[in-house]
Amino acid sequence: MSATLVRGLKCRLCGKHYPKEPINFCTEDFGPLEVDYDYEAIARRVRRSDLQRRPFTMWRYRELLPLDGEPTVGQFVGGTPLLPAPRLAKALGVRRLWIKNDAVNFPTLSFKDRVVAVALSKAREFGFDTVGCASTGNLANSVAANAAAAGMTAYILVPAEIEQAKIIGTTVYGARLVRVQGTYDQVNRLCTQIAFKYGWGLVNINLRPFYAEGSKSMGYEVAEQLGWRLPQHVVVPMAGGSLIGKIHKAFQELQQLGWVSPSPYRVHGAQASGCAPISTAVKNGWDSHQPVKTPQTIARSLAIGDPADGYFAIRVIRETGGWAEDASDSEIAESMALLAETEGIFAETAGGVTLAVARKLIEQGRISSDDEIVLCITGNGLKTQEALNGVLTEAPVIPPRLEEFDRLLASRLATSAPESIRPLAPATA
Ligand SMILES: *Cc1c(COP(=O)(O)O)cnc(C)c1O
Ligand SMILES: [Zn+2]
């Protein structure tokens, strides 16, 4: 299909060209490699109007993704809703707010299904039948599920201390999960050695250049769902710092292809205060980040102390005129609850980080109340329920009798009950 649309790989630091192979760094300077497309050939091959006939999945944009043939893994990934968020907008004091909701991505409820669909389809093209990853949880879930459906063997390494739901949501698919006593960065280093020694296709190690491209589909979808235009602000959670750069790359490509009119946009990055190497660098005006040795945050999915794409994330933020902020554990949990209460969306801790940071940027005047804003919600709250321990009102337990319910409604307990029944129990001033 698109064999001639990808020229090969290219070093992001020195620009040296490499063939299309399962490699991820430049032998000259250890810079990360990136897929190099022939955009003129792409423009000749596909027009924007051609997309209308295709299903609303990430593969609608297949000419801009690095496969040689048809996708063979994750064919139904992407096509998540872009929702207007009027009640949340009101709470934040802004007028035009959207949520790109990858908390409902198929099949494992996070944006990682996008990167895995590309990486495992590419792994098949390269002839790997054993795949895997280093993960903070969501990538583990997605590699496990998609590998199972594709009949591939998966070895998955995670830090020992991740959420229970993310462990079960990996082993249930029959993946070989290994919990490593250490930080994500230590897991990542181990996986680099494993990929080298055993010759497996590890999606975010030796397949990383292809893997990372999958994130662009989130950006394409946002632009198309806005009616083929770009928002003024996007707020993106950052772990390894890849997604944020790929959303920017997607917007650049769409302008280059003439599929959207050029318009200024700012890309903002969000991290947890307990692991904020990138936002700290942005706030201090540094060109590169300083690694965080021992991340400590409830946002475990974002807890990467030494982000592989930190340098590039900082550059994208700076070049687009964006900013970065970080949120404490209590701000994260409160924001998870705010998003759920106002828009009916239960996001994971990373979503709490994104919303809490958006709120700060609005308060700081970096995003003004009339601007159009897209929040990237990347994971599902059912996977990180522990984060809400002690934050939500506990549900009262009553005997099955009407007078017990009446008493409850009249009692002070009812003042903390959901809004719908609150009017019946007027607060005494
Ligand atoms: C992996 C992940 C991210 C960010 O990923 P990058 O490594 O920065 O591309 C954001 N949100 C969630 C929920 C994730 O799992
Ligand atoms: Zn190089």
10-residue mean pLDDT profile of the chain (429 residues): values are 81 97 96 97 96 97 97 98 98 98 98 98 97 96 98 97 93 97 95 95 97 98 98 98 98 98 98 98 98 96 96 98 98 98 98 98 98 98 94 93 95 57 34
CB 162 near ligand 1, within 6 Å = no
**Nearest atom in ligand 1 to 308's CA:** 7
Name residue, tokens 């003024």: 232
Residue 314's nearest CA partner among 304, 323, 301, 305 is 323
Whether 240 and 188 have beta carbons less than 8 Å apart is answered as no
Distance between CA 125 and CA 204 in Å, rounded?
A: 16
Tokens of 367: 């995003």
**Nearest atom in ligand 1 to 212's CA:** 9
Residues whose CB is less than 8 angstroms from the CB of residue 338 and which lie 6 or more positions away in sequence, other chains included: 88, 91, 355
Distance between CA 32 and CA 205 in Å, rounded?
A: 11
CB 103 near ligand 1, within 6 Å = no
Distance between CA 70 and CA 235 in Å, rounded?
A: 32
The residue nearest atom 11 of ligand 1, judged by CA position, is 378
The residue nearest atom 14 of ligand 1, judged by CA position, is 301
* Predicted local distance difference test score (pLDDT) of residue 99: 98
CB 241 near ligand 1, within 6 Å = yes
**Nearest atom in ligand 1 to 301's CA:** 15
Whether 36 and 11 have beta carbons less than 8 Å apart is answered as no
CA gyration radius for the chain?
Answer: 22
CB 350 near ligand 1, within 6 Å = yes
Adjacent-strand bridge partners of 414: none
Residues whose CB is less than 8 angstroms from the CB of residue 296 and which lie 6 or more positions away in sequence, other chains included: 274, 275
Whether 332 and 387 have beta carbons less than 8 Å apart is answered as yes
Name residue, tokens 């991340």: 295
Residue 416's nearest CA partner among 275, 49, 262, 408 is 408
Distance between CA 318 and CA 312 in Å, rounded?
A: 10
3-state SS string over the chain? CCCCCEEEEEECCCCCEECCCCCCECCCCCCEEEEEECHHHHHHHCCHHHHHHCCCCHHHHHHHCCCCCCCCCCCCCCCCCEEECHHHHHHHCCCEEEEEEHHHCCCCCECHHHHHHHHHHHHHHHCCCEEEEECCCHHHHHHHHHHHHHCCEEEEEEECCCCHHHHHHHHCCCCEEEEECCCHHHHHHHHHHHHHHHCCEECCCCCHHHHHHCCHHHHHHHHHHCCCCCCCEEEEECCCCHHHHHHHHHHHHHHHCCCCCCCCCEEEEEEECCECHHHHHHHHCCCCCCCCCCCCCCCHHHCCCCCCCHHHHHHHHHHCCCCEEEECHHHHHHHHHHHHHHHCCCECHHHHHHHHHHHHHHHCCCCCCCCEEEEEECEEHHHCHHHHCCCCCCCCCCCCCHHHHHHHHHCHHHHHCCHHHHHHCCCCC
CB 378 near ligand 1, within 6 Å = yes
Distance between CA 323 and CA 121 in Å, rounded?
A: 35
Relative to the alpha carbon of 15, which ligand is closest?
Answer: 2
Q: How far is the CA of 398 from the centre of ligand 1 (A)?
A: 42
The answer, yes or no, to whether the previous bond of 264 is cis (omega within 30 of 0) is: no
Q: How far is the CA of 246 from the centre of ligand 1 (A)?
A: 12
Q: How far is the CA of 27 from the centre of ligand 2 (A)?
A: 7
Residues whose CB is less than 8 angstroms from the CB of residue 109 and which lie 6 or more positions away in sequence, other chains included: 103, 141, 379, 380, 382, 383
CB 219 near ligand 1, within 6 Å = no
